[in-house]
Structure 1
Amino acid sequence: MPVFERNFNLSHRMTHELGKSIVCGEFGPNDSLPTEAELCERFGVSRTAVREAVKMLSAKGLISSKPRQGIRVMPQEDWNIFDSDLLRWSLEGNPSMRVLREFLQMRIAIEPEAAALGAQFARPERIKAVGDALERMRNAKADTDEALQADIDFHISILYTSENRFYIRMRDFIRTALSVSIRHTNVIKGNPDAVIADHAKVYNAIESRDPVAAKSAMLALIEEALGFIEQELANSGEEM
Structure 2
Amino acid sequence: MTASQSATGKNFRPEPLHAAVARELMARVMAGQYNPGDLLPVEPKLVTEFGVSRTVIREAVRSLNDKGIISVRQGSGMRVEPPDQWSYLDPVVLFELVKAGRSPTLFDELLEGRRILEVQLVGLAAQKRTDEEAQELANLLARMREHIRDPDPAEYNNLDLAFHDLIARAARNRLLLEAMRPITEVTRIGRFYTVSVQGGLELSLRGHDELYRAVHAQDALGAQQAMLHHVQQFEANIRQALHRQGGAV
For normalisation by structure 1, the TM-score amounts to: 0.65
Deviates more, 1:114-123 or 1:103-112: 103-112
Percent same amino acid at aligned positions?
A: 24
For each residue in 1:41-91, what CA deviation from the matched residue of structure 2 results, as whole angstroms up to 9, or x when unmatched?
A: 987648xx94x764443222221235786422234564335546x37996x
Residue of structure 1 in register with 2:9 after alignment: none
Counterpart Cα distance in 2 of 1:230 and 1:36:
36
Taking structure 1 as reference, are residues 65 and 162 closer, same or farther at Cα in structure 2, changes over 3 Å only?
same
**How many residues get paired?**
218
RMSD: 4.3
What amino acid sits opposite 2:136 in the alignment? A
Counterpart Cα distance in 2 of 1:230 and 1:62:
26
Residue of structure 1 in register with 2:35 after alignment: 29
For each residue in 1:128-152, what CA deviation from the matched residue of structure 2 results, as whole angstroms up to 9, or x when unmatched?
A: 2222111122333435434444333
Q: Which has the larger radius of gyration?
A: 1
- 1:188-207 pair list within 5 angstroms: 188-189=199-200, 192=202, 195-207=204-216
Residue of structure 2 in register with 1:6 after alignment: none
Counterpart Cα distance in 1 of 2:241 and 2:41:
37
Question: How far is the alpha carbon of 1:219 from its aligned partner?
Answer: 0.9
Counterpart Cα distance in 2 of 1:238 and 1:88:
13
2:72 partner SS? strand
What amino acid sits opposite 2:189 in the alignment? T
| Contact 1:23-1:89 at 8 Å conserved across structures | no
For each residue in 1:108-133, what CA deviation from the matched residue of structure 2 results, as whole angstroms up to 9, or x when unmatched?
A: 24322221221133333333222211
- Which blocks of at least 5 consecutive residues in structure 2 are unaligned? 3-15
Residue of structure 2 in register with 1:162 after alignment: 171
2:34 partner SS? coil
Residue of structure 2 in register with 1:184 after alignment: 196
Deviates more, 1:31-40 or 1:216-225: 31-40
- Which blocks of at least 5 consecutive residues in structure 1 are unaligned? 3-12
Residue of structure 2 in register with 1:5 after alignment: none
Taking structure 1 as reference, are residues 56 and 216 closer, same or farther at Cα in structure 2, changes over 3 Å only?
same
Question: How far is the alpha carbon of 1:209 from its aligned partner?
Answer: 2.0
Counterpart Cα distance in 2 of 1:198 and 1:232:
19
Counterpart Cα distance in 1 of 2:80 and 2:247:
25
- The answer to whether 1:128 aligns with 2:141 is no
- The answer to whether 1:20 aligns with 2:23 is yes
For normalisation by structure 2, the TM-score amounts to: 0.63
- 1:1-240 pair list within 5 angstroms: 15-16=18-19, 18-25=21-28, 27-30=33-36, 31-35=38-42, 45=54, 50=58, 54-66=61-73, 70-76=77-83, 78-83=85-90, 86=92, 104-142=111-149, 144=151, 145=153, 146-166=155-175, 167=177, 170=181, 171-181=184-194, 183-185=195-197, 187-189=198-200, 192=202, 195-230=204-239, 240=249
1:156 partner SS? helix
Counterpart Cα distance in 1 of 2:135 and 2:18:
39
Residue of structure 2 in register with 1:10 after alignment: none
What amino acid sits opposite 2:86 in the alignment? W
Question: How far is the alpha carbon of 1:153 from its aligned partner?
Answer: 2.9
| Contact 1:188-1:228 at 8 Å conserved across structures | no
| Contact 1:61-1:78 at 8 Å conserved across structures | yes
What amino acid sits opposite 2:64 in the alignment? L
